Structure 1
């Protein structure tokens, strides 16, 4: 009898909700299953990453002792290893994994919102139990702001850490409410550790748990110094783990943190705060690049307006902290979970103020406030109007939320689902090809340097060099940039116009003398001209600017092997493989080196690794 009640009241409800979320998510993001690997990071992290080729002890040891190369995300790599075991390097399996994780996260959002959307008596704040939580889960599941995290395979780290982050909150909340508190608590600590192993951005967990305790204490009208002390003590394991992983994260980001002043960092953080709010409520104009080009100053409305919004929200949160604590909770959840991204506004030559996937978890705070505002609005509807539109639907109630369901609720859900499905499907299709992805970025911001440079690169790789040049020339009307000269040099080199290519690379080097890429490119062209000594000089200069420049080490080693300077070549290749053991060229050259040294067994190992990295690429057989 108990088992029957369980299946009728709990399991069926859970299965129905997950099934409905699954269908809805596939409507929005299912098209990503036919995508190939994306042109950004997917090759580095998945396609040409030997460490994800199976669940061997060696692979596990590697991912738990190395960065990616900037982030420490070992559990994310383990999830890629599982994908490889199940389906090899087929992108379908990796995309399916992302979609299923997003479905799981949407369900966890439902569970969390269902707990928070209860009044002080423990009853639902809404007349239809769970409808508000489900509406919030729908917004999370379908919002096009989340497309980047779901559609991009490398976005797995944001999906995975959010899964364990939300699971930590759900278990912690369960421990507050019922029996077996120790089991729920230590389960939440374990999930917190797994979240940090997925991505160190989860370091905000202890602060959010304190925020949860504060919100619950206000809602439950029970607080005392002893209770506050005990609640703080049980956060100690979370704080210890967060500080540890924050230190690890800073180790990987050492060259990025500190590349701008604290004032500039603060102002760009303010802009990003406002940008994500705008994109949430006005879900158009998404891009893979949000370049920060203009001077950073409070006189710019892009910085001033978000600052005013922050000050207003802070004042409102403080004023209503007792009567309407949900305002402060949602605002602080959004701000706190977004804060780790405030120090990550540089990558390569790009300075940017936003990345869509960074808002994946913080958006839950905004969704919570929206649901509470909706509840406040529904309370204002006169009873006479409610009685006219109310409808009982026992069948739907039994299958989903178990309570009365109204026409108003149904229409509200349809109003949420339809436009968000349309928008999310459109955003998913933008990721169909590198050309469509970067062309859209140019359409959103025609002055975006990274958008134009990467679009020109994509066109060049398709041998559409004249179109690539046109994209770069049009970009010059918005201002010159080193990236344009780098890509122009690559196009000239592809056309065999070596002199013009060297001219462009030289311009790029003069514009940014500490940049190794143009110097390396000149060395590569000189090598093809037969000027080996000059090429070696350029490669050495590039390496001096960036010791992690694996390509430069590989070209130096190639020259040294040809000259018979095998010990020096080995030194370069060992360092290259230390930086990236899955670098194709390093494995090929190490194969050559070992063959020259008469170490054929080792040579075969490197040859097999090179073939595994690029199965279709021909590698000349060598003999000692």
Structure 2
């Protein structure tokens, strides 16, 4: 009964922490859901299971969501309910795997640490929540000895988001450090094969297996991941400095040093890996970070939402290490986490606050300035885009955005110059050509711009007055 009341209290606390996300608009690239043709087609559910669609189970849920409503709050409601479900399952697992006091602490950290905000408030992070829920259920059935049920749930997790491909390594580590049951071999092998298949399918769907940022090689991406992982751990211990667009580029020596620190942590953790002791949870968290922190570049060098499932392990580590701490200190820390989560959720309630925070924490990145320039006063937007131009003078997209900003500010002559500059950098850039056409300036297309030619032909159709 005490355990049940505690789990209900956790769910209520998580609802208080992140419930404000229900009033958030679509942020960042969330609006792409509304323009995705298959998702908005009556028979679009068939397309989400095509070989070129990653995360088909997640996109099926988006398709269903759009059949009901396209209001942002309905999408946020699903994300919030998924997080509450994860909290419920995770708290039960902690009670099974940890001493009681450690379980309570771990569950509280997982339920309402502000590091969870991005996964809950960002609509497209539904994939992270859905995959985590199936992984946690898979872990529950694995621990109960129902390993083929565990395998089936893990397949669902892979269909939600391929990023959980390393989850079988956590199960193998758990089995090795506790029971070493030979009956677990074949389900574990099946999970490994499924992970490999999901990885190959992702490579096929994306054409290269990566969706990485321009100019980032696999080696560069991997080198920066040491810094990204240490940043995640810092946010866990000192919950300050959250941003939707983290800046983690550092000098090569610092990147190597960061990986050196992680290797030392892993080696020390290996010494206490048995019987689900602290070392197990350290290695488990690092293993779960592998798919997004390896040689396969993701869309960003770092993203707070990637810590959602790994936080299950790091929260358990916190619980084990702090279970003997002073109760008043722990209650105070819990209240602090709750208040910080409420405050961080409020950041997601408007594009201005979200990208102001990103621009403040990542002054050397261009994207926060571009995003913020779209929602602030034109004069402030010009200042932001001029700064972006200084940071990325050869970026054609930045030049186009600066041109649009000048148009908003009533300076068409400066806008014309920026669109011209964009085309010198990228002669096939459709946005620049389209905006020049709006200004009655027609530019001939060079050879090799077939797609852009087709798009510009559409501009001549009657009734077309806004950019696609």
TM, length-normalised to structure 1: 0.67
Cα separation, 1, equivalents of 2:400 and 2:456: 19
Cα separation, 1, equivalents of 2:147 and 2:458: 54
The answer (yes or no) to whether the contact 2:7–2:91 under 8 Å persists in 1 is: no
The match for 1:41 is: 29
The answer (yes or no) to whether the contact 1:18–1:103 under 8 Å persists in 2 is: no
Cα separation, 2, equivalents of 1:356 and 1:142: 14
Cα separation, 2, equivalents of 1:526 and 1:276: 44
| Correspondence list, 1:156-305, <5 A | 156-175=126-145, 184-217=146-179, 223=180, 227-228=181-182, 230-254=183-207, 256=210, 260-294=216-250, 296-298=251-253, 300=254, 303-305=255-257
The match for 1:504 is: 418
Q: 1:309 aligns with which of 244, 247, 261?
A: 261
Instruction: Note if 1:336 corresponds to 2:306.
Output: no
The match for 1:392 is: none
Instruction: Note if 1:431 corresponds to 2:348.
Output: yes
Cα–Cα, structure 1 residues 74 and 355, in superposed 2: closer, same or farther, change >3 Å? Answer: same
Cα separation, 1, equivalents of 2:184 and 2:298: 38
Shift of residue 325, structure 1, vs aligned partner: 5.4
Cα separation, 1, equivalents of 2:276 and 2:12: 34
Shift of residue 522, structure 1, vs aligned partner: 3.5
Measured against aligned partners, the alpha-carbon deviations of 1:301-334 in whole angstroms (never above 9, x if no partner) come to xx24422321321221233345x75233212211
Choose 134-143 or 472-481, whichever is displaced more.
472-481
Cα–Cα, structure 1 residues 365 and 285, in superposed 2: closer, same or farther, change >3 Å? Answer: same
| Correspondence list, 1:455-466, <5 A | 455-459=372-376, 464-466=377-379
Cα separation, 1, equivalents of 2:406 and 2:115: 38
Cα–Cα, structure 1 residues 304 and 522, in superposed 2: closer, same or farther, change >3 Å? Answer: closer
Shift of residue 249, structure 1, vs aligned partner: 1.2
Instruction: Note if 1:64 corresponds to 2:49.
Output: yes
Shift of residue 186, structure 1, vs aligned partner: 2.4
The answer (yes or no) to whether the contact 2:430–2:455 under 8 Å persists in 1 is: no
RMSD between superposed Cα atoms in Å: 3.0
SS at match of 1:137: helix
Shift of residue 264, structure 1, vs aligned partner: 1.8
Q: Structure 2: any 5+ residue segments left out of the alignment?
A: none
Cα separation, 2, equivalents of 1:90 and 1:66: 29
The answer (yes or no) to whether the contact 2:351–2:372 under 8 Å persists in 1 is: yes
Q: Structure 1: any 5+ residue segments left out of the alignment?
A: 1-8, 118-124, 176-183, 218-222, 379-407, 563-587, 590-616, 619-624
Instruction: Note if 1:520 corresponds to 2:430.
Output: yes
Q: 1:554 aligns with which of 416, 437, 455?
A: 455
Cα separation, 2, equivalents of 1:521 and 1:363: 41
The match for 1:146 is: 116
The answer (yes or no) to whether the contact 2:386–2:402 under 8 Å persists in 1 is: no
Measured against aligned partners, the alpha-carbon deviations of 1:317-365 in whole angstroms (never above 9, x if no partner) come to 233345x752332122111111111245464xxxx43101011111122
TM, length-normalised to structure 2: 0.88
The answer (yes or no) to whether the contact 2:95–2:103 under 8 Å persists in 1 is: yes
